[in-house]
Structure 1
Amino acid sequence: MLVRGAVLTVVLLGLVAFSVLLAKVTLTPSPASEDLVTSNLRPGRSLRQYAEDYTFLGAVKQAGGNLLLGVPFGLLLPFFVPRRLRMIRTTLLTAVAMAVVELVQGALVAGRAFDIDDVILNTAGALLGYFLLGRRISHRYYVYTDASGAPGPSAQEPAADPEPAPGPAARRTKTAATKTARGKAGQPAPP
């Protein structure tokens, strides 16, 4: 129980630190680009612009930076998301969080705009982080904490089987009785 609490505290502090960094990177005004930025609601438009208008290094910096911003979500969120459908829930939580960040950027921050491609790249980064490392470390964490005596599904006793499955002879007898009952139901009643 102590290990579980310590790990969750460290992960929560990591998520808070990442959130502060994310806010600093994404919510800082950029007055120099105020006249240049426009909102993008069409997926792929910004990526094409990176490829056409930027140098290779600039395009890699833009796209790669957005991918890297999502990776911590894929590493940290699996610790807080239930096991069932963990990848889907992590992906959806990341997409919602990044969409909110982009909306705040577009509405409140000078020189910044909403860009759907940023949301897509951030979410792809979260998936990348999840598949590269997040899935494994969260799985090991849960296996370790469940095995160390923490109450959970593996600590409960298995339910006893109420009745053993019938063997072949019992099935044949049951089938014959069912056929006999059907045959009698179709015959007229005696006078």
Structure 2
Amino acid sequence: MRIYLQPIQMGVLIFFAVAFLMILPYFIIQYRKRGSVSTWRLLVTFSFVLYIICAYAMTIFPLPSREEVEHMTGPVQNLKPFEFVRYFKEYSPFVLSDKSTWLPALKHWTFIQPFFNFLLTLPFGVYMSYLFKKKFSTTLIYSFLLTLSFELIQRSALFGLYPRPYRLFDVDDLMINTAGALFGYGLGQILKNFLPDLDKVQIKSSQVSFTRRLTGIVVDLILLSIITPFVSQFYIGPLIVFLIPSIIFKRTLGQFLVKIYIEPENRLLITLRMILMAINFIPFIIAGRLLDLTGTAPESELSGIYIGLMICAALILIEGLDFLLAIFNKTKRLWYERLSHTRLVGK
């Protein structure tokens, strides 16, 4: 079993890196397409990503050394079908009339290897049925292409990184993997009756969740981080990213991507909204400056700096409480939205 655990561990590590890069685009696509992000669809989708990465990891890892591969002399491919049946007949301890041989036969490599190849693609068929809602014929094609990609990667000596293939290109694996996926498809058709319908677990709403807001803000902050090094004054970046688009288009780029906009259309109210929103950042800026002074200021001024830090902390705490109250409030409006009589609405 250890030979299977190491590739899975490697796949999980790769998944976390891929998931970190995927999460923002995924949220944007879901908000644009469905107006909300279903927690269940999120879990199912990212479990599929984890599965695919682990499946490829199991066909690639563990990686041998180049010296080890250079000394390999075995065959690089098997194009003769049903060799796994012949191996089972010749080398397995299984004897139908002797029950004592049944369990050892299940633990023998002649059974374990094809059985794990069968299990390798079984989840793929389930996902094709449940997540992607594909037909049987489409699943058959995709399953064959998936397992063919496994075998071609092995046959190519990991895209030419090794002097020769270190794993066998096996037509039996093509058949067994495809059969496993088709079995998984049938299993998925049954499981669909017990699992939530992915098309019904989410409802479009004009009310904007804080997760949707946050997704737009993250996009805007990424854009701000790109622009900032190219402008001479620190305030120019926020003007370009937040204020000007909000006044002209009623939304920032991030808000556009997640399909939300500011209501009403009155540009004076939108300008007031943006000015009040900017006030949120003043305690953070002042606190940062005061913290910088604590290491260089004379001892006689430290008490005043600490009082300033306490005032900033209190203001930040008030902002945090307002945020928490807004989460449980039906209107989901923050203090600067209430004062400016504006709100974010979704399309």
Q: Is the 8 A contact 1:37 1:112 kept in 2?
A: no
Aligned residues: 147
- CA change 1:36–1:14 in 2 (3 A) is same
Q: Is the 8 A contact 2:80 2:171 kept in 1?
A: yes
Q: Is the 8 A contact 2:79 2:170 kept in 1?
A: yes
| Pair 1:117 & 2:166 matched | no
Pairwise mapping of residues 1-191 of structure 1 onto structure 2 (< 5 A)? 5-28=38-61, 29=63, 31=68, 34-53=72-91, 56=105, 57-82=108-133, 86-109=135-158, 110-132=165-187, 134-138=188-192, 145=199
Aligned-residue offset at 1:22: 1.3
CA deviation string 1:156-180 (max 9, x = no partner): xxxxxxxxxxxxxxxxxxxxxxxxx
- CA change 1:144–1:23 in 2 (3 A) is closer
**1:64, 1:112 → 2: CA distance?**
18
Unaligned runs of 5+ in 2: 1-33, 94-104, 159-164, 205-347
**1:120, 1:2 → 2: CA distance?**
41
Question: Normalized against structure 1, the TM-score is what?
Answer: 0.62
Following TM superposition, where does structure 1 have runs of at least 4 consecutive aligned residues deviating by more than 6 angstroms? 147-150
- CA change 1:107–1:121 in 2 (3 A) is same
**1:50, 1:34 → 2: CA distance?**
25
Aligned-residue offset at 1:43: 1.7
CA deviation string 1:58-101 (max 9, x = no partner): 11111111111011111112234445xx1221122111111011
**1:51, 1:37 → 2: CA distance?**
21
Between the aligned residues of both structures, percent identity stands at 23
Q: Is the 8 A contact 1:74 1:130 kept in 2?
A: yes
**2:58, 2:111 → 1: CA distance?**
17
Q: Is the 8 A contact 1:67 1:122 kept in 2?
A: yes
**2:78, 2:139 → 1: CA distance?**
24
Aligned-residue offset at 1:143: 5.4
Q: Is the 8 A contact 1:79 1:138 kept in 2?
A: yes
Partner AA of 1:49 in structure 2? Y
- CA change 1:115–1:130 in 2 (3 A) is same
Partner AA of 1:89 in structure 2? T
Unaligned runs of 5+ in 1: 151-191
Q: Is the 8 A contact 2:41 2:198 kept in 1?
A: no
Q: Is the 8 A contact 2:40 2:198 kept in 1?
A: no
Q: Is the 8 A contact 2:83 2:172 kept in 1?
A: yes
Partner AA of 1:9 in structure 2? L
RMSD (Å) for aligned C-alpha atoms: 3.1
2:284 alignment partner in structure 1: none
Higher relative contact order (CA 8 A, sep 6+): 1
**1:94, 1:106 → 2: CA distance?**
18
**2:73, 2:91 → 1: CA distance?**
16
Partner AA of 2:169 in structure 1? F
Partner AA of 2:125 in structure 1? G
**2:128, 2:39 → 1: CA distance?**
16
Aligned-residue offset at 1:2: 7.6
